[in-house]
Amino acid sequence: MPTKQTESAPSFLQVYTQVRRDRMKHSFLRQISACVDWRG
């Protein structure tokens, strides 16, 4: 049981960080596109 927990914990953390990174990147790109639209 403990081995399974330690095995699933890192994967969950990895997915969480990946999702957060993707979301940040998405919002960042959206901000840039909005600035470009405002300028262009």
- Residue 1 DSSP label: -
Amino acid in position 26: H
In this prediction, residue 37 carries a pLDDT of 85
In this prediction, residue 11 carries a pLDDT of 85
**What's the distance, CA 32 to chain centroid?**
17
Structure tokens at 22: 């993707």
Which residues does 29 contact at the CB level (< 8 Å), separation at least 6?
none
Question: 28 by DSSP, 3-state: which?
Answer: helix
List, for residues 4-35, the tens digit of each pLDDT value.
Answer: 655 566 788 899 999 999 999 999 999 999 99
Structure tokens at 28: 């960042």
Report domain extents, the chain: 13-39
